[in-house]
Amino acid sequence: MNIHEYQAKALLRGYGAPVSDGRVVLRAEEAKTAAGALDGPLWVVKAQIHAGGRGKGSFKEADAGEKGGVRLAKSVEEAAEEAKRMLGKTLVTHQTGPAGKSVGRIYIEEGSDIERELYLALLVDRVSSRISFVCSTEGGMDIEEVAANTPEKILSFSVDPATGYQPFHGRRIAFSLGLTGPQVKQCVKLMGILYTAFVERDMEMLEINPLIVTDKGDLKVLDAKLSFDSNSLYRQSDVAELRDETEEDPKELQASKYDLNYIALDGEIGCMVNGAGLAMATMDIIKLYGAEPANFLDVGGGATKEKVTEAFKIITSDKNVKGILVNIFGGIMRCDVIAEGVIAAVKEVGLKVPLVVRLEGTNVDKGKEIISNSGLDVIAADDLKDGAQKIVKAVKG
Ligand code: ADP
Ligand code: MG
């Protein structure tokens, strides 16, 4: 789960990290009061979306102005004006895709005088099964670009969980970032703060780009992107409260309410499958026969008729879906339950695209019987290959 920059900064401030003072604005009429609560002489007005690259982004609407999603203002009035201009508009960055993201919140913060921009991240490194620090002198840039062009400018190392964070980790980062004097001490402290927050809050990623050195020589967190392990939200209730549902794919949001493992993709064939492995195999075989999956969907082992119905509704609500492949291996899941769910869903939402159903396993005969007696226009398939070929043919001709 991701949160907004202003929420991330508030969370890190709570751990003692140096961040600027700021106010969030949800409605245009709040903008002036928010900006007025901050000391000038410089205000920074920042669109809050769950995507990076805002500064270099652009708005779809002409009346949002020419500048990107991070704007400098020299007075309270100007800051309020920029906030109003961006609210409700669609910001496109290299991370949002061409559709962009609607800006529902603006963060106004005090401007900083920047001496240097640095990069810092903490992440869960799956290879070493440890938390890693990643840092670079090339802050404010896309780290993927730095990694591709000048990998020698990135330092990365993992922390042994048996010792946890130690001051030498912080000194190693400080020296690689070229920090000197009191900055080294600040860096050692800040890295410890970030590591503690990362572990305590079950984060998956923490990215500060840029971490800056101010004109006075102090370190400051100027941008913050945090993502949390969704599986731990049950014990992170205050983090869970920060969830902004408007930032999420509505289909994925609906799926999460029914405890379905659903990921929206760009293809044309909707898939309803049980088991993550079978779902992956189904996506692979659809690709093998020349089409693209519209989603990953694992309805799980003990799915009920209601859950199957909901899954089917989510698939059919996707306008890109030109055909549906139901591929179920009934182990714990029973084929007749799937069949009933599919029929209930079709009765409710109708069926405007070809549907191929492949059932195998527990109660398969009962399941097939339910489908053939339903009078629905369903194409039956015998195995995975047959099912994939039939749905691709039905869609592509
Ligand atoms: P994004 O990464 O989405 O583009 P950032 O928060 O990193 O957004 O802002 C982009 C750039 O804007 C930063 O690299 C920095 O140069 C400038 N900037 C951001 N916040 C401030 C601030 N409070 N004061 C001065 N400059 C800022
Ligand atoms: Mg940034």
DSSP states of 287-300: HHTT--BSEEEE--
User: Of 240, 274, 305, which residue constitutes the final position of a domain?
Assistant: 240
User: What token pair was written down for 286?
Assistant: 């659809």
Q: Do 135 and 173 belong to one domain?
A: yes
**15 domain residue, yes or no:** no
Whether residue 198 is found in the same domain as residue 165: yes
CA-CA distances (angstroms) from residue 303 to 307, 309, 325, 338? 6, 10, 17, 8
What single string gives the DSSP state of each residue in 110-127?
Answer: E---EEEEEEEEEEEETT
Q: Which of 93, 110, 127 is the last residue of a domain?
A: 110
Collapsing DSSP states into helix, strand and coil, what is residue 40?
coil
Residue 333 known to bind ligand = yes
Distance 69 CA to ligand 1 centre (A): 9
Ligand 1 in reach of 225 Cβ (< 6 A): no
Q: Is 119 a catalytic residue?
A: yes
**Are 119 and 91 contained in the same domain?**
no
Q: Running DSSP on this structure, what letter comes out for residue 152? A: G
The single residue of 30, 82, 107, 119 carrying the catalytic annotation is 119
Which ranges of the chain have pLDDT less than 50? none
Residue 55 alpha carbon, nearest atom of ligand 1: 4
Q: Are 32 and 162 within one domain?
A: no
What CATH number is attached to the domain comprising 373?
3.40.50.261
224-237 pLDDT, tens digit per residue, is 999 999 899 999 99
Shared-domain flag, residues 296 and 364: yes
- Per-residue model confidence (pLDDT) at position 97: 87
CATH code of residue 156? 3.30.470.20
Q: Is the same domain home to 236 and 266?
A: no
In whole angstroms, what is the distance from residue 157 CA to residue 65 CA? 42
**What dihedral do alpha carbons 267, 272, 278, 283 form, nearest 10°?**
-10
> 153 and 127 in one domain?
yes
User: pTM for this one?
Assistant: 0.83
- The answer to whether residues 150 and 229 belong to one domain is yes
Q: How many CA atoms lie within 13 A of 80 on its CB side?
A: 15
In a domain, 319, yes or no: yes
Whether residues 128 and 205 fall in one domain: yes
Handedness of CA 310, 270, 392, 328 (dihedral sign): negative
Q: Which atom of ligand 1 is nearest to the CA of 209?
A: 7
Same domain (yes/no): 275, 343 = yes
Q: Which residue is listed with tokens 């730095």?
A: 146
Inter-CA distances, 283 with 333, 378, 390, Å: 20, 20, 14
211 and 320 assigned to the same domain:
no
Q: Are both 261 and 381 inside the same structural domain?
A: yes
Domain count of the fold of the chain: 3
Query: Residue 201's domain spans which residues?
Result: 114-240
Q: Is the CB of 20 under 6 A from ligand 1?
A: yes
**pLDDT value at residue 300:** 81
Per-residue model confidence (pLDDT) at position 377: 86
Looking at residue 136, what DSSP letter applies?
A: E
Bridge partner list, 323: 269
Select from 5, 43, 70 the residue to mutate for testing ligand 1; criterion: most ligand atoms less than 8 Å from CB. Answer: 70
d(CA 71, ligand 2 centre) in Å: 13
6 is catalytic: no
Pairing of strands 225-228, 261-264: unpaired
Q: What is the Å distance from ligand 2's center to 241 Cα?
A: 24
331 known member of a binding site: yes
In a domain, 16, yes or no: no
Last residue of a domain, one of 240, 262, 296: 240
Q: What pLDDT, on a 0 to 100 scale, did the predictor assign at position 256?
A: 85
Residue 104, pLDDT score:
96
Asked if residue 307 belongs to a domain, the reply is yes
